[in-house]
Amino acid sequence: MPVVKVETREVSSYTGRMNKRIRPTHCYLCGEKLVEPTSVDHVPPLLFFPKEMRRRYNISNLLTIPVHAACNREWQEDEEYFVHTLLPMTGGSEAGDAHHIRIREKIKAGKNVFLVNQVMDEFKSVIKGVHLPANRVAKFIDHHRAYGVIWKIIRGLYFHHHGVILPKEWGMRYWITAPYEPPEPFFKDYADSGRGVSRGEYPKIFSYFFDRFQPDGWDFHYWGFHLWDSLIVTAMFHDPWRCGCPVCQFVGPVFPESMEGTVRA
Ligand SMILES: [Zn+2]
Ligand SMILES: [Zn+2]
C-alpha cells in the first residue's frame, strides 16, 4: 500500500514549540483537509493531566493541535481506557495519586463504573492455573487500544515537531515498563549513551524524547515517554518513507509462474 506523505506547514525549528496560531491545513488524525467542525486535540491527551495538578502547578498552556471534531471524539474512550489501565502501575507518584482521587470521585458520581470493572478484571493473580507470588499481579492490556493511543501521541508530537503526518496505520513495537520493572534492553543502552534529550514542560506528568537511527540504510525512530513520574513507555518504528531494510523494501510475495503443463486452466 503506498503511503501518502502530507507536508502541512513550514517547519520553523526542530526543537522550538509550534506557533499555536499557525493553523494546519490538514487533520493529523485522518490526514484529510481540515474543515469545520473542528476542535483542539491535546497532545498528549488532556486526561493525562489530573485536575488537581493542573491547578497546583498552574498548568494551562498545553500543546494542542486543531483536528476534525469527529476525529477527536473517536479517541475519547480509548484514551480513558489507557489512563485507567496504566494507573494501577504508577506506584504512588504525585500524578498517580491525583488520578486515583479523580477516579474515585467519578465512581462516586456513578461514572466510569463499567470501565473500572473491566480494568480491574484484567488484573489476575492466577494465570493459566499458576498462582503468582502474593505481591505480584499480571496486567492484561487491550493491545489494540494501547497501541492506538501510543501511536496517536507519537503522530501528534511528530506532527508538532516536523509538520509531517505519519500514516494512520503503521507497524510499531512498544514497551510499557512499570516503576518496579527493569526497562527493555535498548532503553538502558540508550539512557546510558546520554544521547536522549528530554522534552515536555511538565516532567512530573509527561516528558518525552525521540531519536532516529540510520545504520546501513536502515532508518528507524525511537520514542519514549515518562508518564506520571513513574511509567516508561518506549516505542520503535521504521521510517515509512526512507527505511531501506529488507522488510520495508519487500513489496509482497512474487509467485513463480507455474510451469507449462503442470496446472490445468
Ligand atoms: Zn480528521
Ligand atoms: Zn525498515
Reported as a single tens digit per residue, the pLDDT across 207-217 is 999 999 999 89
* Positive or negative: CA dihedral 187, 189, 194, 195: negative
pLDDT tier at 113 (50, 70, 90 boundaries)? Answer: low
What's the whole-model pTM score? 0.79
- Ligand 1 is an ion; its neighbours by CB within 5 Å are 27, 29-30, 68, 71
Q: Which ligand is nearest to the CA of 32?
A: 1
In whole angstroms, how far apart are CA 133 and each of 30, 31, 124, 188?
45, 47, 12, 27
Count of other CB atoms within 10 angstroms of residue 54: 16
Give helix then strand counts, H and E, for the chain: 8, 13
Instruction: Supply the pLDDT for residue 256.
Output: 62
What's the CA-to-centroid distance between 161 and ligand 2, angstroms?
A: 22
What's the CA-to-centroid distance between 38 and ligand 1, angstroms?
A: 9
Cell of 207: 516528558
Percentage of the chain beyond pLDDT 70 is 75
Cross-strand partners of 14: none
State how far the Cα of 152 lies from the Cα of 41, in Å rounded to an integer: 11
What's the CA-to-centroid distance between 73 and ligand 1, angstroms?
A: 10
Are residues 210 and 223 in contact, defined by beta-carbon separation less than 8 angstroms? yes
What's the CA-to-centroid distance between 250 and ligand 2, angstroms?
A: 9
Return the top range by mean pLDDT from 50-59, 185-194, 219-228, 250-259: 219-228
pLDDT tier at 128 (50, 70, 90 boundaries)? Answer: low
